[in-house]
Amino acid sequence: MSTIIRRREAAVAAPGNETAVADLLSRLYRTRGANPDEDLAYPLGALLPPHFLGGIGQAVELLWQALRRQSAILVVGDFDVDGATSTALALKVLGALGFQKLDFLVPNRFRTGYGLTPAIAAMAAERGAELIITVDNGISSVEGVAAANARGLAVLITDHHLPGASLPDAAAIVNPNQPGCGFRSKALAGVGVVFYLMTALRRRLREENWFIQHGVNEPNMADYLDLVALGTVADVVPLDYNNRILVHHGLRRIRAGKSSPGIMALLGIAGRNPQQLVAADLGFAVAPRLNAAGRLDDMSHGIQCLLAQSVEEAQSLALELDGLNLERREIEQTMQREALAHLDSVEISTAAMPVGLCLYDRGWHQGVVGILAARIREKYHRPVIAFADAGDGMIKGSARSVPGLHIRDALDRLAAGHPGLLHKFGGHAMAAGMELREADFERFADAFDAVVRSELGAVELQGEILSDGELPAGLLCLELAQTLRNAGPWGQHFPEPVFDGEFIIRQQKLVGGHHLKLVMAPLEEPGRSLDAIWFNVDTQCWPNPSIERVHVAYRVDANEFRGLVNLQLMVSHLDTP
């Protein structure tokens, strides 16, 4: 599938007109809807106040009464990084506030499924829980909450996912996306919701004079922002101003060496320098290692790493997670080869390929189908759902969408038009999960394709890279790379700057099996040499010595190697002009 490079509102001057780095940065911020004179200091005091979150008053009262009684609390998490950080954050802060009977449980992806189910409610009762707190889940757990209520267990839901047609009958619900909630930042991750609830609870305890009366040191909520930053970045929620404040201060703590032993150990295993950390390092180095636990085994291992108090314990757990991540990569690569081979074997052309693409193989791993769907989407630029066998005649799918299609809403329309076809589903605009009968796969695939075709046209199916324009050769410098690296946090809906221009290729070779290492020169300075790298290239097409002049979309980066820092272009796309 072809990809086009489209330039957003020009952030750089025309080639030949030098633009100061500071002026360029200001322009880049403005094209992303930020006012560089007001929005870039990121003071913690600018965070939206907790009282705007619907349901937070009831939730705080519930927790205050539970603290007075020292009720047994069970935190029910989720098996992704947002769920792991939410769980660790809740346990750490509740413990620091004086709660003594704390435990956690993460539903197993393969045995119990997602969220607070009736089976999880039964397990909570067996553990002696009196109050269940869901984190990063629960808004769709109507049956699970009913089962907990029937057992005499109170349920406090903290979540950020979109609700269904009806809400669970919980004692309290804190979710910025629930009906009637006036909180302006609908993009909070699950860990952000927990952070707000814990902040509001701390304030209530301060007002009740709890800390003085019981000799408890009042915790500094900023101490936990490393967890908030990790969960927010890993869940790929939009980095609106409120989320950028949270991530900015979380990154500052990590850079200052004030992070938890678990996060520091994971960074060390990944070979990342904490002092030079950027948001992308959390997303591409730390998050996959934590996610591997939930995908292949049990996210409890990841949570234990985040809760570790000693460096030794954290390093041991980080090594275990790293091993799981290597195993996950091998499984993913095998599944990707099988999926692409299947598409090639049936000779599906671009015109004949379903617009909504569904893939299924009984041998695929449930925990990795989401990554597979993302890889296939990147290649074919269309919504993809990859399915794996779930036993008992059922299959579980993980969907990844493209801009222009809200995948959960699309599944909602499909379910309404085909009653009984979907056993259950849920998710976001860009990702979703579902379960259906294996016998219904073909019927579901046809229905999904029809729904997507009604929503997307040729424009949405065209791969697109948004560029901030062409950089003058004089701005291709280490100063700009370091400025942009430190200028974020960049992320979803606040993207890291991408530039494009024409270059001459001087050298090209494969490194690491499927990465293309390049030495290039800008057309206006043909005698200059710039290092560049393009990850995960099509090795059937590259290296290609016959191609000498190329049009490149790229990011500028400061690459540190053996103590030396040099400019490096990170290639996003490359074609011939």
| pLDDT value of position 82 | 96
State pLDDT tens for residues 523-548: 989 999 999 999 988 888 899 999 99
Class of domain 3-35+467-575: mainly beta
Q: Which two structure tokens, joined as six digits, stand for 227?
A: 């967890």
How far is 196 from 186, CA to CA, in rounded Å? Answer: 13
Query: For the chain, what are the domain ranges?
Result: 3-35+467-575, 48-249, 349-461
Q: Which two structure tokens, joined as six digits, stand for 538?
A: 């099509």
- 48-249 CATH: 3.90.1640.30
Q: Which two structure tokens, joined as six digits, stand for 416?
A: 């309404």
How far is 548 from 506, CA to CA, in rounded Å? Answer: 7
Class of domain 349-461: alpha beta
| pLDDT value of position 346 | 52
What does DSSP assign to residue 132? E
How much helix, strand and coil, in percent to the nearest 5, is found in the chain?
A: 45, 20, 35
Closest CA relative to residue 556, chosen from 12, 10, 6, 4: 12
State pLDDT tens for residues 39-58: 677 999 999 999 999 999 99
| pLDDT value of position 164 | 83
Q: pLDDT tens per residue, the chain (577 residues)?
A: 568 888 887 556 544 444 588 888 888 998 998 887 766 779 999 999 999 999 999 999 999 999 999 999 999 999 899 999 999 999 999 999 999 999 999 987 667 777 899 999 999 999 999 999 999 999 999 999 999 999 999 999 999 998 988 999 999 999 999 999 999 999 999 999 999 999 999 999 999 999 999 999 999 999 999 999 999 999 989 999 999 999 999 999 999 999 999 999 999 999 999 998 999 999 999 999 999 888 887 899 999 999 999 999 999 999 999 999 999 889 888 988 888 887 776 545 555 689 999 999 999 998 889 989 998 998 889 999 999 999 999 999 999 999 899 999 999 999 999 999 999 888 778 889 999 999 999 999 999 999 999 999 888 888 889 999 999 888 999 999 999 988 889 998 999 999 999 999 999 999 988 899 999 999 989 999 999 999 988 888 899 999 999 999 999 999 887 778 899 999 999 988 7
- Cross-strand pairs, 550: 503
| C-alpha atoms less than 13 angstroms from C-alpha of 247 in its C-beta half-sphere | 34
pTM higher than 0.95? no
| pLDDT value of position 517 | 96
Element (H, E) at 431: strand 431-437
Closest CA relative to residue 514, chosen from 553, 552, 540, 544: 540
How far is 577 from 575, CA to CA, in rounded Å? Answer: 6
| pLDDT value of position 458 | 83
| pLDDT value of position 17 | 42
Q: Give the type of residue at 340.
A: L
Q: Which residue carries 């925990």 as its tokens?
A: 367
Tell me, yes or no, if the two domains 48-249 and 349-461 fold the same way.
no
How far is 230 from 277, CA to CA, in rounded Å? Answer: 12
Closest CA relative to residue 236, chosen from 185, 274, 287, 304: 287
Q: Which residue carries 């490149």 as its tokens?
A: 552
Q: Which two structure tokens, joined as six digits, stand for 333?
A: 């690569």
Q: Is 211 exposed, middle or buried (0-12, 13-18, 19+ CB in 10 A)?
A: middle
| pLDDT value of position 14 | 46
How far is 58 from 554, CA to CA, in rounded Å? Answer: 49
Q: Which residue carries 């005698």 as its tokens?
A: 527
| pLDDT value of position 15 | 43
In DSSP notation, 20-44 reads: -HHHHHHHHHHHTT--TTTSSS--G
Closest CA relative to residue 516, chosen from 475, 482, 547, 558: 547
What is the β-pairing status of strands 549-561 and 564-575? antiparallel
- Residue 408 near residue 425 (C-beta atoms within 8 A): yes
Number of Cβ within a 10 Å radius of residue 442? 10
Phi then psi dihedrals of residue 376, to 5 deg:
-70, -40
- Cross-strand pairs, 463: 3
| pLDDT value of position 13 | 53
In DSSP notation, 248-314 reads: HHHHHHHHTT-S-HHHHHHHHHTT--GGG--HHHIIIIIHHHHHHHHHHS-THHHHHHHH--SHHHH
Closest CA relative to residue 487, chosen from 44, 39, 47, 187: 39
